[in-house]
Chains A and B, each alone.
Chain A
Amino acid sequence: MIVTTLLPFAIAAFTLALLLNAYRLLRGPGLADRILALDTLYINSLALLILVGIHFRTAVYFEAALVIALLGFVGTVALSKFVVRGDIVE
């Protein structure tokens, strides 16, 4: 199957994307850049988990990806709101 031979390369490419996001997360320079890097990081790691789920032919990783999607969005909103308002829950 073409898909099974292609999957390791896709996983490697997503790992490279995660490394690029980590570079931006560590490098900065601004606070907004770091929040954006975290946002991209969680989206890419979610896709990576889905790919690993296809690779091992199990649906176990799907729940982890769903939780990452939910909590990552909440995290981005909380960080941005903290920057804008100086407080998360007012």
Chain B
Amino acid sequence: MPWQTFAASAIGKYHIDNNIPCQDDFAFRVVGDVLIGVVCDGAGSSAHSEIGAKECSRSVLDSIEMNLGEGESTRLETVCGRDNLEGAVDVARNRLQSMADEKGFAFKDLSCTLVGCIASSRGGCFFHIGDGFCIAEFDGQTPIVSLPENGEYANETYFVTATDWAARLRITPLPEARYGRVALMSDGAAPFVVSRERTGFFGPFIDPVASYLSGVTQEDGNKALGDTLADERTYAITGDDKTLLIALLK
């Protein structure tokens, strides 16, 4: 398997202090040589956004997996096409709507952002609604990033549940690659994972993390990543939940 993938979420200090659950969630799967990763960050203003984030991340993952079919034989340009990705988000929105109806929630109660990747050595893409951050660093080349999109103020962003979601869906193609690393994250993790210039990784964070993860099992790696994201030093950086998915391409 060309991908070694790790992911973890850690609840933010603001959430702990205010008795709010962790509203980030993630899902990933490797299908053939293709990594599908999704991170969703539930809106702080939405009553059940942790459920929205969980459902949305799983639903989008399932749809993309279905589109991929047998993996290696599938044309990635098709799977990464806007029609397919909008379709995957639309399915997730329908699932959120049914869930809201079933449980007596408002649709907006399940609001979350979407950060995702379809990545392989044959190419792929990032897809993104709202804030959060994606970075791909391949073959020692300049990193490819998908930046957060906010309203005027930093706490205003765009959600999968918004009516203009399709206009907010941003797709960034990824090139062919031999080796490297890909990361998806919620906006709580970005301040210490991303460089000050926001053009790639912050080396003093990612280098020790990647080097450690490359030598451990997925289970140990996920645990250590989770503990690192939960470190009290992050409390001075953000009050928000922190989710990070890191995939190493060998």
B and A form one assembly: no
Interface residues of A (CB under 8 A from B): none
